[in-house]
A and B are shown apart, each in its own frame.
Chain A
Amino acid sequence: MLDPKEHTPLEARGLGLSFGSHSVLKDFNLTIPKGQISVVIGPNACGKSTLLRSLARLEKPSAGTVLLDGKSIHKQPTREVAKRLGILPQMPVAPEGITVGDLVSRGRTPHQSAWRQWSRQDEVAIQNAMDMTKVTELRDKPFSSLSGGQRQRVWIAMALAQETDLLLLDEPTTFLDLAHQIELLELLKRCNEEQQMTIVAVLHDINLAARYAHNLIVLKDGQIEAQGNAAKVITQDIMKSTFGLECYVMPDPVKGTPLVVPA
């Protein structure tokens, strides 16, 4: 018998969340499979971001709970959670005047203290993170001078320096052109394959989501419409019922994953 914890590092159980009288999630259940890339898709305002933010303990649920390794995420010390789970929010704000190297090194925060601001492990982790994301040459540049694609790689580097085995990303490809979207998703794929990271991302582009996700979560009005691999989830019917989109679904000529072509 397999230990269930091994397979679901992150789980939402009976999760409810509302802003004022507007309820976004209601009695919501979800398990995130270990070592896979899960991608949440769905129409605007379906609760994608709220779900991701709840999973990362950025929103406090009004009912139910989020379990990290089988224990309530809100009952664990936030610093310990930060050693297990990294989050890249939708529009992260960098401190004014910070350089790339300084920014990436701040990912080490949960492993440091005011007394121990530097260690050999910090150096190794930061170097690895910058190598992986190819930002080593940008080290001394001011973050504000970077392009959108470079900035996003630097944020990922900071998250990698945190050395968590779970990484949550809220629309990481927004504002990037297609080439940079692919570059970023390839990077996430490598993180998943080389470091066995469990990744959960909210994406807008259904075709890219189909290409890179092992596990697709289709959300509508705070409910899961469908969940599973792309072949199972991306169908004409589900696209119609979720997005209200008339479309054809055909195999992607490159990867063979489903390709949505609007009718």
Chain B
Amino acid sequence: MKLLSHHLVIPLPGGALLMRKRSAVVGIVLLTLNLVSVIAALWYGAYPIAASRILPLFFSGEGGVDQLILLDVRMPRILVGVFVGGLMGMSGAIFQALMRNPLASPDVLGFNAGAAFGALLTIFLFGSAAYVFWGAVAGGVLTALLVVALSWHRGLDLFRLIMVGIGIGFTLLACADFLMSQLDIQRASDMAKWLVGSLGQVQREDIAPVAVAFVALGSLGIVLQYFLDRLAFDEDLATGLGLKVNGLRLLMVAVAVVMTATAVAVAGPIPFVAFVSGPIARQLSRTPSSALILAAGIGILVTLLSDTAARTLVAAFQMPTGVFTALIGAPYLIWLLARQAKRNLI
């Protein structure tokens, strides 16, 4: 078994999975860090709740202020943060693997802008936030269809897709700005906050859709990862290995778009989570794979830490989560651009 000195073989009935040992270790560390972060985020906040009371409060029926804060304010926000962060992390990792380019994430490609524009449009048309979720999902999917259609050239042309995506993204952001200028000032300022990306306005009802999307699309993504990793070869080699390249690419794009659109629908276009998660996960685990599970873990950690900072650093003032994810993501983007420019890649 010298051949597999770096892998674990996980036997299945009638099959087997391969996992890198290092990835397994990184996964366990991330899981631990995320559990600690969730508990810390439940405990830590402007309103003090003793750590020893957290567990009892979950199960008692006392209904006091402590329980209200914990179960109706913090818990939904944290759970949604977990699912949204995981969805964005996986979505970014899928796009980056498909395009073989770390710049290609849904926040860069304009799909998040499309989802945000779709959400704004429903508010503008219906005068209420009732259809924001479906508006965002439809906006993200329609933007993706438009971008894919415009970049189709004897199959999915990945370079075109990046160029067209960036262009459409900026156009849609301009349209969103125009819509905001037509709203009254109170609504426009709420929307401005949402456009930065924030978990601040999350409600209990928001948990279910992102939880379902996280579990369903996440499992699908993990099954498809085997093929995604092989699409990292060029198109000719992947075809030679017996893969239906165009079909698989479209399927992966669809999965990743719905992932990001669902996340944006609930939390707004939180920037850079999708962008940084995949590369960090791959760096830590030193794997050639797209490492979707680890990317989800990083996405969750970045979102939780950013959101906890956003709601506690300045006590009287809740900042949007996106401000802090941008603090992490923007320097990375600059570093990446500088490195690619140095290697004459752009």
Q: Do A and B bind each other?
A: yes
A169 to B322, CA, bound (A): 50
* Distance (whole angstroms) from the CB of B318 to the closest CB of chain A: 40
Known: A101-B3, A116-B16, A117-B18. A92 touches B233 (CB 8 A): yes
Chain A residues positioned under 8 Å from B232 (CB to CB): 95-96
Which chain A residue lies CB-closest to B7? A118
* Distance (whole angstroms) from the CB of B243 to the closest CB of chain A: 7
A224 to B288, CA, bound (A): 43
Chain B residues positioned under 8 Å from A88 (CB to CB): 240
Chain A residues positioned under 8 Å from B15 (CB to CB): 113, 115-117
* Residues B288 and A107 in contact, CB atoms below 8 Å apart: no
* Residues A126 and B3 in contact, CB atoms below 8 Å apart: yes
**Is A81 an interface position by the 8 A CB rule?**
yes
Give 1 or 0 for each of B239-261: 1 = CB within 8 Å of chain A CB: 11111100000000000000000
* Distance (whole angstroms) from the CB of B28 to the closest CB of chain A: 21
Give 1 or 0 for each of A61-94: 1 = CB within 8 Å of chain B CB: 0000000000000000011111101111101111
**Is A123 an interface position by the 8 A CB rule?**
yes
* Residues B288 and A109 in contact, CB atoms below 8 Å apart: no
* Residues B236 and A92 in contact, CB atoms below 8 Å apart: yes
* Residues A119 and B240 in contact, CB atoms below 8 Å apart: no
* Residues B233 and A110 in contact, CB atoms below 8 Å apart: no
* Residues B240 and A117 in contact, CB atoms below 8 Å apart: no
A95 to B1, CA, bound (A): 24
* Residues A82 and B240 in contact, CB atoms below 8 Å apart: yes
* Distance (whole angstroms) from the CB of B338 to the closest CB of chain A: 18
Chain B residues positioned under 8 Å from A80 (CB to CB): 242
Interface positions of B from 13 to 38, Cβ below 8 Å from A = 14-18
* Residues B226 and A89 in contact, CB atoms below 8 Å apart: no
* Residues A117 and B17 in contact, CB atoms below 8 Å apart: yes
A138 to B288, CA, bound (A): 17
**Across the A-B interface, how many residue pairs have beta carbons closer than 8 Å?**
101
* Distance (whole angstroms) from the CB of B219 to the closest CB of chain A: 12
Known: A89-B236, A92-B236, A95-B232. A110 touches B288 (CB 8 A): no
* Residues B288 and A95 in contact, CB atoms below 8 Å apart: yes
Interface positions of B from 303 to 320, Cβ below 8 Å from A = none
Which chain B residue lies CB-closest to A105? B3
A67 to B302, CA, bound (A): 53
* Residues B233 and A93 in contact, CB atoms below 8 Å apart: yes
* Distance (whole angstroms) from the CB of A125 to the closest CB of chain B: 11
Chain B residues positioned under 8 Å from A101 (CB to CB): 3
**Is A257 an interface position by the 8 A CB rule?**
no
* Distance (whole angstroms) from the CB of A82 to the closest CB of chain B: 3
* Residues A99 and B3 in contact, CB atoms below 8 Å apart: no
* Residues B241 and A118 in contact, CB atoms below 8 Å apart: no
A101 to B232, CA, bound (A): 16
Interface size on A, residues (CB 8 A): 45
* Distance (whole angstroms) from the CB of A68 to the closest CB of chain B: 13
Contact of B234 among A82, A89, A106 (CB under 8 A): A89
Contact of B226 among A58, A79, A117 (CB under 8 A): A117
**Residue with the greatest number of chain B CB neighbours at <10 A, chosen from A80, A109, A116:** A109
* Residues B233 and A58 in contact, CB atoms below 8 Å apart: no
Known: A96-B288, A126-B3. A114 touches B240 (CB 8 A): no
Chain A residues positioned under 8 Å from B14 (CB to CB): 115-116
A4 to B60, CA, bound (A): 81
* Residues B288 and A98 in contact, CB atoms below 8 Å apart: yes
Chain B residues positioned under 8 Å from A102 (CB to CB): 288
Which chain B residue lies CB-closest to A103? B288
Chain B residues positioned under 8 Å from A95 (CB to CB): 100, 229, 232-233, 288
Which chain B residue lies CB-closest to A91? B234
Known: A114-B227, A115-B12. A58 touches B239 (CB 8 A): yes
**Is A18 an interface position by the 8 A CB rule?**
no
* Residues A92 and B237 in contact, CB atoms below 8 Å apart: yes
Interface positions of A from 134 to 151, Cβ below 8 Å from B = 139-140
* Distance (whole angstroms) from the CB of A39 to the closest CB of chain B: 19
* Residues B224 and A94 in contact, CB atoms below 8 Å apart: no
Interface positions of B from 272 to 288, Cβ below 8 Å from A = 282, 286-288
Contact of A87 among B1, B5, B230, B236 (CB under 8 A): B236
* Residues B242 and A83 in contact, CB atoms below 8 Å apart: yes
Chain B residues positioned under 8 Å from A58 (CB to CB): 236, 239-240
Chain B residues positioned under 8 Å from A118 (CB to CB): 4, 9, 16-18
**Is A97 an interface position by the 8 A CB rule?**
yes
Can you list 23 A-B contacts (CB < 8 A)?
A: A53-B236, A78-B243, A81-B242, A82-B241, A86-B240, A87-B239, A88-B240, A93-B233, A93-B237, A95-B100, A95-B229, A95-B232, A95-B233, A96-B100, A99-B288, A101-B3, A102-B288, A106-B230, A114-B223, A114-B227, A117-B17, A118-B9, A123-B4
Closest 6 CB pairs of A and B: A82-B242, A116-B15, A95-B232, A79-B242, A98-B288, A110-B242
> Assuming A79-B243, A80-B242, A106-B230, what are 16 further A-B pairs, CB within 8 angstroms?
A53-B236, A82-B240, A83-B242, A85-B240, A89-B236, A89-B237, A92-B237, A95-B288, A98-B288, A106-B233, A114-B223, A115-B12, A116-B15, A118-B17, A118-B18, A123-B1
Footprint of B on A, CB under 8 Å?
Answer: 53, 56-58, 78-83, 85-89, 91-99, 101-102, 105-107, 109-110, 112-119, 123, 126-127, 139-140, 162
